[in-house]
């Protein structure tokens, strides 16, 4: 399994995108983005965010970026809506589940709901994220999350390196 790492971000109002940008610049990892053609502006857009969470809907998305299949680890970064994973990231995880190898999750939120998002990724993939963390929008705004994000990135990188140190071929009888 390759130990290369891809960041995939969905952001409606820009906070999660800033987290993705900082992680990408700290580690020189490539980034992809989940996009929607339908706007979430205004009260109607906000209501649709909430409804997507309440009914666990899968809104239509497009993905722009490197092919996740080529990466040993994908770091998902997305907001929390109504205490759940933002709908467009739910769609991405479902659509790409068969080709995702290791997955780590970063939730960006006002203050609660991240554990539901981690549990949902676990449910969709049938295995928990290798690592997960969350930041509040306030921490992102004031920049105080920067060293925690770096620590998270180090852990993601080290996890991939550790897994790659024990390859299936090393364990097979033909390798001895
Ligand atoms: C419709 C809606 C529902 C939200 N629900 C929650 C919530 O349940 N818990 C929480 O901590 N933050 C909640 N938030 C706050 C967002 O998670 C937070 O503002 C996040 O930084 C937005 O990310 P973005 O700028 O990348 O879109 C909600 C935001 C919106 C628009």
Q: Whose alpha carbon is nearest atom 23 of ligand 1?
A: 79
Check residue 168 and give its pLDDT.
53
Check residue 169 and give its pLDDT.
54
Pocket of ligand 1 (CB under 6 A): 11-16, 46, 49-50, 79-83, 108-113, 137
Q: Residue 55 and residue 176: Cα distance in Å, rounded?
A: 52
- How far is ligand 1, taken at its centre, from the CA of residue 142, in Å? 17
3-state SS assignment for residue 104: strand
Check residue 162 and give its pLDDT.
82
Q: What is the pLDDT of residues 54-81, one digit of tens each?
A: 999 999 999 999 999 999 999 999 999 9
Average pLDDT over residues 17-41: 97
Average pLDDT over residues 22-48: 97
Strand ranges (E), the chain: 5-9, 31-35, 62-64, 73-81, 84-85, 102-109, 131-136
Residue 132 CA, chain-centre distance (Å), reads: 9
Query: Percent of the chain at pLDDT above 90?
Result: 89
Which of 19, 52, 81, 113 best tests ligand 1's pocket when mutated (most atoms within 8 Å of CB)?
A: 81
Residue 42 CA, chain-centre distance (Å), reads: 25
Q: How many CA atoms lie within 13 A of 96 on its CB side?
A: 27
- How far is ligand 1, taken at its centre, from the CA of residue 110, in Å? 6
- How far is ligand 1, taken at its centre, from the CA of residue 79, in Å? 6
Check residue 1 and give its pLDDT.
55
Q: Where does the pLDDT of residue 175 fall: very low under 50, low under 70, confident under 90, or very high at 90 and above?
A: very low
- How far is ligand 1, taken at its centre, from the CA of residue 141, in Å? 14
Q: Do β-strands 31-35 and 62-64 pair in parallel, antiparallel, or remain unpaired? A: antiparallel
- How far is ligand 1, taken at its centre, from the CA of residue 151, in Å? 24
Average pLDDT over residues 155-168: 81
* 51 burial via Cβ count (<10 Å: 0-12, 13-18, 19+): middle
Check residue 76 and give its pLDDT.
98
Residue 74 in tokens:
């994908």
Q: What is the pLDDT of residues 98-147, one digit of tens each?
A: 999 999 999 999 999 999 999 999 999 999 999 999 999 999 999 999 99
Residue 107 in tokens:
């939730």
Which of 79, 113, 136 best tests ligand 1's pocket when mutated (most atoms within 8 Å of CB)?
A: 79
CATH number at residue 152: 3.40.50.360
Domain of residue 100 covers 5-175
- How far is ligand 1, taken at its centre, from the CA of residue 9, in Å? 14
Which of 59, 109, 118 best tests ligand 1's pocket when mutated (most atoms within 8 Å of CB)?
A: 109
- The total of other beta-carbon atoms located within 10 Å of residue 154's CB is 12
Count of domains forming the chain: 1
Q: What angle do CA 156, 158, 160 make, to 5 degrees?
A: 70
Residue that has been written with the tokens 């080709």 in this structure: 99
Residue that has been written with the tokens 């990408």 in this structure: 24
pTM: 0.94
Check residue 164 and give its pLDDT.
72
Q: Residue 170 and residue 176: Cα distance in Å, rounded?
A: 8
Average pLDDT, the chain: 93
Check residue 176 and give its pLDDT.
35
Quick check: 31 and 99 in contact, CB under 8 A? no
Q: Do β-strands 84-85 and 73-81 pair in parallel, antiparallel, or remain unpaired? A: antiparallel
């Amino acid at each position: 399994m390759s130990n290369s790492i891809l960041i995939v971000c969905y952001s409606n109002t820009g906070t999660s995108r800033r987290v993705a940008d900082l992680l990408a610049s700290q580690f020189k990892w490539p980034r992809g983005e989940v996009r929607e053609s339908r706007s979430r502006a205004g009260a109607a857009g906000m209501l649709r965010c909430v409804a997507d969470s309440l009914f666990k809907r899968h809104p239509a998305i497009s993905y722009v970026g490197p092919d996740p299949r080529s990466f040993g680890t994908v770091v998902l970064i997305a907001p929390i809506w109504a205490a759940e994973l933002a709908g467009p990231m739910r769609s991405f995880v479902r659509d790409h589940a068969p080709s995702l190898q290791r997955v780590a999750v970063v939730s960006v939120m006002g203050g609660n709901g991240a554990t539901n998002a981690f549990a949902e990724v676990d449910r969709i993939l049938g295995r928990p994220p290798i690592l997960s963390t969350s930041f509040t929008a306030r921490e992102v705004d004031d920049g105080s999350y920067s060293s925690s994000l770096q620590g998270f990135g180090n852990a993601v990188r080290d996890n991939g390196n550790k897994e790659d140190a024990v390859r299936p071929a090393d364990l097979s009888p033909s390798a001895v």
